[in-house]
Amino acid sequence: MLYQLYETNRAWLSPFSEFASAAAKLYSNPLSPMAHIPQAQRVAAGFDLAHRLTKEYEKPAFGINAVNVDGTEVVVQEQVVKTNPFCRLLRFKRFTDDAALLSKMRSQPSILVVAPLSGHHATLLRDTVRTLLQDHKVYITDWTDARMVSLEDGAFHLHDYVNYVQEFIREVGPNVHVISVCQPTVPVLAAISLMASRGEKTPLTMTMMGGPIDARKSPTAVNNLAMNKSFEWFENNVIYRVPPNYPGAGRRVYPGFLQHTGFVAMNPDRHANSHYDYFLDLLRGDDDNAEAHRKFYDEYNAVLDMPAEYYLETIRTVFQEFALVNGTWMVKNPQGKEELVRPQDIKTTSLLTIEGELDDISGSGQTAAAHDLCTGIPKNRAKHYIVEGAGHYGIFSGRRWREMAYPVIREFILTHNAKPASKAKAA
């Protein structure tokens, strides 16, 4: 019922939002006579803010059309490599007429970025992708909003996530480097562990950034909620069925609007101040700061629904049973057979973990815990790095990501881009 009430409220607000948008333009356009009345700029700013607070935010585009490679701007084309019901594998392919540069780009390492399926779209990692493209061939998982997936496509469980990751690793190729950001650190570690246990070729490196490998360490507000509420509480209070006006009508989901409400509730004062500052920027005519606000909230307010099975199983496995660190996690493979996740079986994949000093989503030590689990990886192929002054988003987006975290990742990948098997034989 809550989902239906939300949709009804959204439908009611839609005409007002459009009216507010039109009124803001009417009072701000210099060609409009209304723009010259007293307090017109203040009225326009008020209507603009009202529009942004009531509008519906759709999934943004990545919008990466070009990047700079060795001082030359090259064209980037977004391509769909593989499509599964709940996820697309995208590649950002680079093009240039410079034969020497083209040859160099072809020889650069391939990276699979596993984006979070935790409320926001993969476009949240736009800055991550744009930066990586300077020195790498880049692929990313683009998770589908569950309300857009028909019931005919079946359920999506946590083990399906793990299987998707393995499928995409094989698709990109044997010498891939995997980067997981936040939530996917756990299923990515499981995916690579299972491949190693079967004797499959595993990625050359795996970089894990700000994820809850061991959520018992330095628990945050997010961790405490998941740990202190029962599994039944989550099932009874946050799971709803998709309304009939979407392709996924009837599917059980954790709605994106609930996730978004939780995000805002963590720092309500900060968001309120941000919107008030936006209003002041409009009054001052500070277009740069106003546009920065729009870009951030266009992304932040665009959310997706998560499949109920996947969400609930993540709560239980990662935040309540701690199955990965306790060595009890059984994952069902595509053939229906259950396999034990054994990170200690990983031997030829180098490990880099990155944490933000001020991360309030994944606390200190949670990601570094991967080193305690991956005992088969030699110490000279494992590294931990803390981004000083960075919060959760700062480790993969913004100045600290570009100037502090990325150089470490680039160097780590370059150092371990050679096949470890040949090194082992030489030794």
Q: Determine the angle formed by the axes of helices 2-28 and 40-54, rounding to 10 degrees.
A: 160
The residue-averaged pLDDT of 345-365 equals 95
Write phi, then psi, for 227 (nearest 5 degrees).
Answer: -85, -30
Q: How many Cβ atoms sit within 10 Å of the Cβ of residue 152?
A: 8
For the chain, what percent of residues have pLDDT higher than 90? 87
The residue-averaged pLDDT of 101-127 equals 95
The residue-averaged pLDDT of 342-347 equals 98
pLDDT at 177 over 60: yes
Identify which of 179, 177, 185 has the alpha carbon closest to the alpha carbon of residue 161.
185
Identify which of 260, 213, 216, 269 has the alpha carbon closest to the alpha carbon of residue 238.
260
Q: 300-334 pLDDT, tens per residue?
A: 999 999 999 999 999 999 999 999 999 999 999 99
Per domain, the residue ranges of the chain are 1-56, 66-234+306-426
> In which element (H, E) is residue 352 found?
strand 350-356
Residue bearing the bigger pLDDT, 92 or 423: 92
The HSE-up count of residue 248 (CA atoms within 13 Å, CB side) is 25
Q: What is the pLDDT of residue 20?
A: 95
How big, in percent rounded to 5, are the helix, strand and coil portions of the chain?
A: 50, 20, 35
Q: 361-410 pLDDT, tens per residue?
A: 899 999 999 999 999 999 999 999 999 999 999 999 999 999 999 999 99
One-letter-per-residue 3-state SS of 26-85: HHHCCCCHHHHCCCHHHHHHHHHHHHHHHCCCCCCCCCCCEEEECCEEEEEEEEEEEEEC
Identify which of 325, 373, 378, 327 has the alpha carbon closest to the alpha carbon of residue 348.
378
What predicted TM-score, i.e. pTM, was given to this entire model?
0.92
Q: What is the pLDDT of residue 419?
A: 60
Name which CATH class applies to 66-234+306-426. Answer: alpha beta
Q: 147-164 pLDDT, tens per residue?
A: 999 999 999 999 999 999
Q: 32-91 pLDDT, tens per residue?
A: 999 899 999 999 999 999 999 999 999 999 999 999 999 999 999 999 999 999 999 999
For the chain, what percent of residues have pLDDT higher than 70? 98
Identify which of 175, 255, 65, 59 has the alpha carbon closest to the alpha carbon of residue 420.
175
DSSP bridge pairs for 140 = 90, 113
Q: What is the pLDDT of residue 81?
A: 97
One-letter amino acid at 380 equals: N
